[in-house]
Structure 1
Amino acid sequence: MGMPQWGYRPQAPRTLRDGDVIYAEVFCNFGGRHTQHQVTMAIGEVHEDFQRAGDVVRAAYAAGLEALRPGRTFGELADAMYKPIEAADGSVFSIAVHSLNPGLALGGISTDIGRLPGAEVYLPVPDGRTFLADLELEPGMTFVFEPNYAFARHMVHIGGTVIVGEDEPIELSPYTAQILRATGRRGLRRSSPRPHGPERDDNGHPAAPAIRDDCS
């Protein structure tokens, strides 16, 4: 998962192919406020470990939504999101949740990248702690859910901006809370969601927008 050669040498980027996985971290700023979304896009058939990692981070994201309620604390929110992550037998690379506008509260967790082959030659990464764990959640607060997980070197990083509502949490981009899948080789284009809202998959999660392989 290192930087590709075309990122630091004068050569053309590699052509995308089936089995590739693309990660993106998308930011938008307006009126002094900003949002953040994590995107994992899988092209064609990918390694089965991506699906396994996707199941872990999806469970963490869902646990976060359940815990994002007024009156709860940020520490309770972070603990809820980390339970599915800590129960799995892969690796986690970064925090799963932090606040926005401003960004002060940080969920802490052990970054167990030391399990990766070759990591033993590097200094260990110290465990972190949840910062502002006693912060009480109030309506209008914004947070980023960005659970990440990997089996071997097959990592999935999903999530987006969520808002504490009066009762239920508000998701600004439920599409990025899952692995987005692309098919086709040329002219990829995403169709617009239907007016009545996002469709749901077999598990009741928002389905990813359709990906078409035509150029029309």
Structure 2
Amino acid sequence: MISSAPHVPRYSLAERDRRWSLARDIMAAEGLDALVAYGEHECADLAPFAPDAYFTNDRPGSVVVFCRDADPIQLTWSNLPITDHIEATRRGDDLWIAPRDIRVAKNAAGIVEVLREHRLESGTVGVLGLDPYPPFHINPILPYRMWTEVLSELPEATFVPVGLGYLFATVCQSDEELAVIRYSAAAGDAMAEAMRAAAGPGVSEAEVYAAGMAAAYRLGVAAPGMLLSTGPGFVSWGPPVWSYRPQPPRVLAAGDVIMAEVFCRFGMKETQHQVAIAIGEPHPDVRAAAEVARASYEAGLAVARPGNTFGDVVEAMQVPLREADAWNVHPLIHSLNPMGPVCGFGSGLRRVPEARAYGRLFDVPTMGGELPLAPGMTFAFEPNAVVGGRLANLGGTVVIGDDGAVELNPLTAQMLYATK
């Protein structure tokens, strides 16, 4: 847990220099003259695509352009990020991008202008934004109109996607980044504890949601959302229905379970936490599903070490489900910081009788199984199992250490019980 007066980690200029060096390493490895990093708009919810913020340590939602050995240029969407930059300068914050290198020009003309200034009309340019970025951007995120205008203005240039190179260059966290991730993970535990304290018969699920979110905000950690389902048993997985459909939140009752996925983001590093809370004694199928999920968690920890691959961890975590004839609603594991490799899910939905009424179902396959594990990688361990039509979901954030897995959230890797 985070104390009432926590030490809040910050990034240094040495971390900036390390990241800018990684950008140039990508350029050298790919034979590039420039690198364009497109960032999703600010205020994006879960799993934002934000390589721009990785290189600026600033407000997300810009385009960052590296040209040869020059300092990067940041292209913002409006004057608002400029006003924030001015205020940060007045406060004495350590800013990574100098004012001379920030322009209000997040558009095709702005990108073209920077490349022309460096005489790269015929250069080879790597682009972050032309690759898929799971889980939410199965299709590339770069806007069609913006990119067609860039291609039209620079017909002699060669543009290549470099998402895979970015993943390999940035997936192992530095010591400074790991300190930020640990802070975020501790905030996730605080959210889980607040949710457990709030839960009980007669309590609205919205009250539980609010308690968790407030715990993160009090610690200065962004909680961009939460997936939450409640009831005596279910297979649903997603945000609470009242967050997108006008209807009252459900009121908890004895025998219910809360299954939630809590997201924390601090310093643009994300941790995820699988919160399972029983209101009294849960249904036997829920208890059985929780036991399968826990066995899957332990199996994954046992092989989450350097020398193995992401696919090895997926296979180990799937074994307890197969042995119990259970299935997983969502991934058992996926990478964090950045997102990338993900365990397959969804095939068991065909067991649900109502599923036959739907026009087409799609199983998401495991992607990135060949990724070799290395110290500093972070993963969301989220083993889940459905037994008898009832879901249980456990887990938290795990770091690959020198000799094995390092659990950041053992609290949420078990079924919790409401105290009311």
Q: Which TM-score bucket, shorter chain as reference?
A: 0.7 to 0.9
Inter-CA distance 95–44: structure 2 relative to 1 (3 Å threshold): same
- AA at the equivalent of 2:314: A
- AA at the equivalent of 2:268: G
Does residue 96 (structure 1) correspond to residue 343 (structure 2)? The answer is no
Tell which deviates more after alignment, 31-40 or 108-117: 108-117
| Residue 85 (structure 1) shift | 1.3
Give me the whole-angstrom Cα distance separating, in 1, the residues matched to 2:362 and 2:347.
8
* Counterpart selection for 1:177 from 413, 416, 420: 413
Give me the whole-angstrom Cα distance separating, in 1, the residues matched to 2:284 and 2:313.
29
- Could you list the per-position Cα deviations for residues 42-74 of structure 1 after superposition, in whole angstroms to 9, with x for gaps in the alignment? 110111111100111001000010010011111
**Count of residue correspondences:** 183
- Could you list the per-position Cα deviations for residues 107-145 of structure 1 after superposition, in whole angstroms to 9, with x for gaps in the alignment? 124521111122211245333332111111000000011
> Paired residue for 1:201?
none
* Counterpart selection for 2:365 from 125, 129, 138: 129
| Residue 183 (structure 1) shift | 3.8
- Report SS of the residue matched to 2:347: coil
> Paired residue for 2:309?
73
Inter-CA distance 124–61: structure 2 relative to 1 (3 Å threshold): farther
Give me the whole-angstrom Cα distance separating, in 2, the residues matched to 1:128 and 1:5.
23
> Paired residue for 1:211?
none
Q: How does 1:104-183 map to 2 (within 5 A)?
A: 104-109=340-345, 111-183=347-419
* Counterpart selection for 1:21 from 257, 270, 275: 257
Give me the whole-angstrom Cα distance separating, in 2, the residues matched to 1:79 and 1:123.
30
Does residue 42 (structure 1) correspond to residue 283 (structure 2)? The answer is no
TM-score norm. by structure 1 comes to 0.77
Give me the whole-angstrom Cα distance separating, in 2, the residues matched to 1:57 and 1:19.
20
- AA at the equivalent of 2:416: L
- Report SS of the residue matched to 2:282: coil
Give me the whole-angstrom Cα distance separating, in 2, the residues matched to 1:118 and 1:165.
44
- Could you list the per-position Cα deviations for residues 158-192 of structure 1 after superposition, in whole angstroms to 9, with x for gaps in the alignment? 111000001131111101111111243xxxxxxxx
Do the aligned partners of 2:311 and 2:370 also contact (CA within 8 Å) in 1? yes
> Paired residue for 2:299?
63
| Residue 86 (structure 1) shift | 1.9
| Residue 152 (structure 1) shift | 3.0
Pick the structure with more helix per residue.
Answer: 2
Higher gyration radius (CA)? 2
Give me the whole-angstrom Cα distance separating, in 2, the residues matched to 1:137 and 1:74.
6
For structure 1, list consecutive stretches of 5 or more residues without a partner in the other structure: 185-216
Do the aligned partners of 2:329 and 2:345 also contact (CA within 8 Å) in 1? no
Give me the whole-angstrom Cα distance separating, in 2, the residues matched to 1:102 and 1:48.
37
Pick the structure with more strand per residue.
Answer: 1
Give me the whole-angstrom Cα distance separating, in 2, the residues matched to 1:138 and 1:4.
36
How large is the RMSD of aligned CA atoms in angstroms? 2.0
> Paired residue for 1:188?
none
Inter-CA distance 124–93: structure 2 relative to 1 (3 Å threshold): farther
- AA at the equivalent of 1:67: V
